[in-house]
Structure 1
């Protein structure tokens, strides 16, 4: 579903990503691991078109379109003063005519029904009308995933989506991402810091070191070589 080839990124004179190739299939959760500074988040942002990069990115065999990729970040970026439902509706702004996207009061009824279905899909329909700021961190991240679902993108890129969450919430979010990948046939790529969670929830693991792919295989492959202090990284 998602294929990135030859991704290379320079920040000034410093090369931070070097000819990275990565693919994520429909129905697959791919975890990207690596030590701090290895290029994980840069790779995700390059695949999403958020940073200038050399190389090519295709979705389902064609050039990446503006609605093909949904993003979920560690910093969740919800509008805290608006309801969870309003936040989910914003995932569809790219499909709305300009005059219907200026304020939540103008969102079509069909969109609100779709957004409610997305909230139900992530287990938060009962919190639809609560202010986003009043939700827990794990609940806010699930609202962000519902927003991504409302975008109807076939690819979801999640950049450290559980790093700011407690262990129980992290488990819930990764379980949800894996279940959505398998049940909805989405291609999901998640940058993670926790090898143990990657082994438990991912279908495949890609490992980066110094801006290059050094591992690509099943989730049970050894990943300790990616980290200068494997035990500390695994426990974080």
Structure 2
């Protein structure tokens, strides 16, 4: 579960968020819509600590992981290796130089969950954009997150790949995760999200 209360954030004197509230329950898929500059991405970045709020409260039951518009995979490494990096925070530096068997097994289960177990040993640079985004979701799952935050996850994808990613996020919500996605496609939000929150600039 994710609860945001009174979130405030400014950049150089420009207020981006001013008292933003959002509550997302386990098993709920919420879409954030709104024009550029309305603070959608900033709100998600505050949740995972990439931005420091100026005020307000953020409560996450468990932990949150973020899936970005720019997918940020290491193209020369395999899908499996990229997913394994989701476990880095709970590994010692010495052990993280070579992922132990239990982490690789968990990463394989995450790839199975996103429908890419058959591409585990393929370099990410050879995967399509939609497949890369599903690898990024698997990496978030390998972080053992309870909340998935997706910042424009389908904006760079073709329509078929976008549907696959949205269906995946919807399936994760159906399995009990809290999912929040920043979208610029109202039709996708209406089709897949349980609730739409519109933010004004």
Shift of 1:48: 2.0
Are 2:59 and 1:58 aligned? Answer: yes
Contact 2:40 2:182 in 1 (8 A): yes
Are 2:192 and 1:206 aligned? Answer: no
Are 2:15 and 1:2 aligned? Answer: no
Secondary structure of the structure 1 residue equivalent to 2:145: coil
2:181 paired residue among 180, 190, 195: 190
Shift of 1:45: 1.2
Q: How far apart, in 2, do the equivalents of 1:46 and 1:209 lie? A: 18
- Which residue of structure 2 lines up, in the alignment, with residue 142 of structure 1? 134
- Which residue of structure 2 lines up, in the alignment, with residue 30 of structure 1? 30
1:76 paired residue among 71, 94, 115: 71
1:131 paired residue among 123, 129, 132: 123
Moved over 4 A (4+): none
Higher relative contact order (CA 8 A, sep 6+): 2
Superposed CA offset, 1:60-109 (max 9, x none):
2xxxx7xx1111001000000000000000001111122111x2xx2110
Q: Which has the larger radius of gyration?
A: 1
Residues 91-102 of structure 1: matches in 2 within 5 Å?
Answer: 91-101=86-96
Q: How far apart, in 1, do the equivalents of 2:104 and 2:52 lie? A: 35
Secondary structure of the structure 2 residue equivalent to 1:10: strand
Are 2:167 and 1:167 aligned? Answer: no
Q: How far apart, in 1, do the equivalents of 2:133 and 2:166 lie? A: 10
Q: CA RMSD in A?
A: 0.9
Shift of 1:115: 0.5
- Which residue of structure 2 lines up, in the alignment, with residue 13 of structure 1? 13
Superposed CA offset, 1:110-133 (max 9, x none):
110110111011110110000000
Q: What is the count of residue pairs matched by the alignment? A: 200
When normalised by structure 2's length, the TM-score is: 0.97
